[in-house]
């Protein structure tokens, strides 16, 4: 089957115009040409095969009287191909099927019965079957998980939550499903979704900071997702915040994770109030109601998070930081402390950073995995 997602004959120019239309479309030929610094006739030539094989289509033009000369904008046909994305957590699997524009069509959630690699591969295979059904076979499958996985490599070097080392997950799942498989760190995958289909669209550089079981940071710098083979990137979780702060799991005193991870916040509220039964959500509800001790602990978390975001912006020069993650709802009760710390720690020569808070869902993690698969198939990396 001829496919823009797997076609070795796809030229660099065709790739560029396809990505431009996918991310920014619909666009007129003239607008696409301007954005890509090409002539309109070059765009016509590059898009012709993509129109012929159905990846692009002509959109009915809008109000013709507005711009004078009528032109039919070009757009990617989102229904032309499907992608699958799977996010693995310590105890669950979240999977989505998306169209070419990463709109979720179906999603499912399953428990992981064990961390044994064979079991997990079997569960992923079942999810793939259930999401594919008798429909169009997906073009690729992305898998995201916490750990040092990086897109170009089918091996997961380390995944602490799953207790894995050097697991050839990509090859095993490819053999089980017959699909091209890309395995990626979950925060980077979430960042990729924001880059092409979220708040990062149109931004040359931005950061995504996640708060949940840990703290993470994904970066797009100069239009490229920052990655490092076999290594983590954006490892902000153990940045030092305060010399006399609480201890993290690794024994650091006063690191960001010791203040702001959901487990650390829960522990601090539960022990202060002597209520070991409290969940993170219950702690958050107490803080939202104004319980003074809970409120103070969340404010400390917000302060740590603000300092982390300022540090990321100071180092990279990004002007947009997207906040997400399982515990991002904490922002609602600690925004003031967050903003104060962000302002206090942003370098005096920098302009203020825009912060966008993205409400969290697990299917968004899985969607990120689908986008990583899409990016790898299109960009061939
Ligand atoms: Zn630490």
Here the CATH number for the domain that contains residue 55 is: 1.10.10.10
Counting the structural domains of the chain, the total is 3
Q: Are residues 104 and 130 in the same domain?
A: yes
Distance 23 CA to ligand 1 centre (A): 37
Spacing, Cα 253 to ligand 1 middle (Å): 7
pLDDT tens across 274-298, in order?
A: 999 999 999 999 999 999 999 999 9
Pairing of strands 140-145, 83-88: parallel
Which domain, by its residues, includes 254? 200-357
* Pair (208, 353) in one structural domain: yes
- Indicate whether 167 and 135 sit together in one domain: yes
CA of 86 to the centre of ligand 1 (A): 28
How far, in Å, from the CA of 160 to the mean position of ligand 1? Answer: 15
What are the tens digits of pLDDT across the range 165-191?
A: 999 999 999 999 999 999 999 999 999
Confidence band for 72, pLDDT divided at 50, 70 and 90: confident
Inside any domain, residue 288: yes
d(CA 14, CA 48): 10
The Å distance, Cα 258 to ligand 1 centre, comes to: 6
Q: Is the same domain home to 208 and 348?
A: yes
Cis peptide before 26 (omega within 30 of 0): yes
> Beta-carbon neighbour count of residue 1 at 10 Å?
9
Q: What mean pLDDT value characterizes the chain?
A: 93
Token pair listed for 362? 């697990």
Cα 72 to ligand 1 centroid, rounded to whole Å: 55
- Structure confidence at residue 4 as a pLDDT band (50, 70, 90): low
23 and 153 in a single domain? The answer is no
If you measure from the C-alpha of residue 48 to the centroid of ligand 1, how many angstroms do you get, rounded to a whole number?
54
Q: CATH code at 159?
A: 3.30.420.40
Q: Do residues 64 and 134 share a domain? A: no
Of 25-29, 95-99, 134-138, give the lowest mean pLDDT range.
134-138
Does residue 332 share a domain with residue 277?
yes
Is 7 within a domain? Answer: no
Q: Is the pLDDT of residue 153 over 60?
A: yes
Q: What is the mean pLDDT of residues 321-336?
A: 96
Q: Domain check: are 22 and 85 in the same one?
A: no
Does residue 210 share a domain with residue 172? no
- Please tell me the distance between residue 237's alpha carbon and the centre of ligand 1 in angstroms: 7
Within a domain: residue 3?
no
Per-residue tokens: 59 = 């959109």
């Amino acid at each position: 089957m001829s496919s823009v997602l797997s076609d070795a004959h796809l030229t660099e120019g065709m790739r560029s115009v396809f990505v431009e239309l996918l991310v920014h479309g619909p666009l007129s030929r003239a607008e696409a040409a301007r954005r890509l610094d090409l002539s309109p006739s070059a765009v016509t030539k590059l898009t012709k095969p993509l129109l012929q094989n159905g990846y692009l289509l002509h959109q009915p033009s809008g109000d013709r009287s507005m711009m004078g000369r009528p032109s039919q904008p070009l757009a990617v046909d989102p229904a032309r191909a499907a992608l699958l994305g799977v996010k693995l957590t310590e105890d669950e699997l979240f999977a989505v099927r998306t169209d070419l524009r990463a709109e979720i069509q179906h999603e499912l959630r399953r428990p992981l019965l064990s961390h044994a690699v064979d079991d997990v591969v079997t569960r992923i295979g079942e999810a793939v079957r259930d999401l594919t059904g008798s429909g169009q076979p997906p073009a690729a499958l992305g898998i995201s998980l916490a750990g040092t996985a990086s897109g170009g490599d089918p091996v997961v070097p380390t995944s602490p939550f799953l207790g894995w080392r050097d697991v050839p997950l990509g090859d095993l799942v490819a053999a089980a499903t017959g699909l091209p498989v890309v395995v990626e760190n979950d925060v980077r995958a979430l960042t990729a979704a924001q880059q092409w289909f979220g708040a990062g669209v149109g931004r040359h550089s931005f950061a995504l900071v996640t708060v949940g079981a840990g703290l993470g940071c994904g970066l797009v710098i100069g239009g490229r997702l920052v990655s490092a083979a076999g290594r983590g990137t954006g490892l902000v979780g153990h940045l030092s915040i305060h010399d006399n702060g609480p201890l993290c799991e690794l024994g650091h005193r006063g690191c960001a994770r010791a203040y702001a991870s959901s487990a650390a916040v829960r522990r601090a509220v539960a022990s202060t109030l002597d209520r070991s039964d409290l969940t993170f959500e219950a702690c958050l509800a107490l803080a939202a109601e104004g319980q003074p001790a809970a409120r103070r602990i969340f404010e400390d978390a917000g302060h740590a998070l603000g300092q982390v975001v300022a540090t990321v912006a100071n180092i990279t020069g990004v002007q947009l930081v997207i906040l997400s993650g399982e515990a991002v709802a904490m922002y609602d009760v600690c925004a003031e402390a967050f903003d104060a710390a962000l302002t206090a720690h942003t370098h005096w020569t920098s302009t203020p950073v825009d912060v966008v808070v993205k409400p969290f869902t697990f299917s968004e993690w899985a969607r990120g995995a689908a986008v990583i698969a899409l990016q790898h198939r299109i960009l061939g990396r």
